[in-house]
Amino acid sequence: MTEAPEPDERLRTELLELALEAAERAGALLRDGRPADLGVAATKSSPIDVVTEMDIASEKLVTSFLGERRPDDGFLGEEGSDSAGTSGVRWVLDPLDGTVNYLYGLPGWAVSIAAEYHGEAVVGVVFAPLREETFHAVRGEGAFLRGHRLACRAAPPLDQALVGTGFNYVQQRRTRQAALAAQVLPLLRDIRRSGSAAIDLCDVAAGRLDGFYERGLHAWDFAAGDLIAREAGARTGGRPGAPPGNDLMVAGSPGVFDALQPLLDELGAWHD
């Protein structure tokens, strides 16, 4: 298998600066432009899997901003952006991760933007406006929050680990995930459910969670957060030996990951 080429320093710097600015612009739009009467514009996988007009506006802002500056790049976005591009760079973005939180006026939502180079994530930015936090990482250069380098927590025993998770919007899958959580919970310190996978992965990076797992995520949900977590020293994956994907996303401090991933696999967290 041929390794993907590495972007040079100039390109890495350019991609990071653009991702930071795009996320800041989109976050400001979402924070300052939220209508008082915000409602659901559409649904996706189920009646509770919602899209608001602000999800759509945020994705349009990000793709327009990046497309004007790098017209040959590709895009993959939650609200429909999907183009290959010719430059080797593809932007993978969730313009509003945590839409239900946003709809209800809760603070746990973020703009998530990753830049891939020949299929490998090289830059990740997650901006959570109401937490006033911007996380970022460049592959091989570490992860940062407010200029401070991040490091995941030293791994406790699994029964002392605080682990985040999320639940899908399809009823059958949610029911299965709830049953799985009931099996996992007694084996952990506790479980947290924030409503934003991007934020959960950044909280693993920042040492606020020892681990995280979820089934049913898409690339735009975890592309930036996955890189940020790994650059902070966490391990990430899907089923044992596989990368993160729709079947399963697992992240954690190395010792927690080593215990949590096989446990989830044994319990069948990767299927409904």
Q: In 7-93, which residue ranges form alpha helices assigned H by DSSP?
A: 9-32, 53-69
Mean pLDDT to the nearest integer, 166-181: 92
Domain of residue 56: give its range. 9-149
Return the pLDDT at 222: 98
My answer on whether 106 and 19 are in the same domain is yes
Domain edge (last residue) among 132, 149, 166: 149
Range 81-99 average pLDDT:
95
Look at the pTM and tell me if it is higher than 0.75.
yes
241: left (phi over 0), alpha (psi -120 to 50) or beta: left
Query: Would the pLDDT of 88 be above 90?
Result: yes
What kind and span of H or E run contains 258?
helix 254-267
For the stretch 198-242, pLDDT in tens is: 999 999 999 999 999 999 999 999 999 999 999 999 999 999 999
Residues 139, 183 share a domain: no
What whole-number distance in Å separates Cα of residue 109 and Cα of residue 270? 25
Nearest to 14 by CA among 87, 70, 84: 70
Q: Beta strand pairing status for 162-165 and 190-192? A: parallel
Both 132 and 21 in one domain: the answer is: yes
- pLDDT, the chain, mean: 94
- Average pLDDT of the residues in 42-60: 78
The answer on 13 and 130 residing in a single domain is yes
Alpha-carbon torsion, ordered 256, 257, 260, 264, to 10 deg? 170
Of 228, 227, 221, residue with least CA distance to 207: 228
Q: State mean pLDDT over 95-106.
A: 94
Is the per-residue pLDDT at 49 higher than 60?
A: no
pLDDT on residue 37: 84
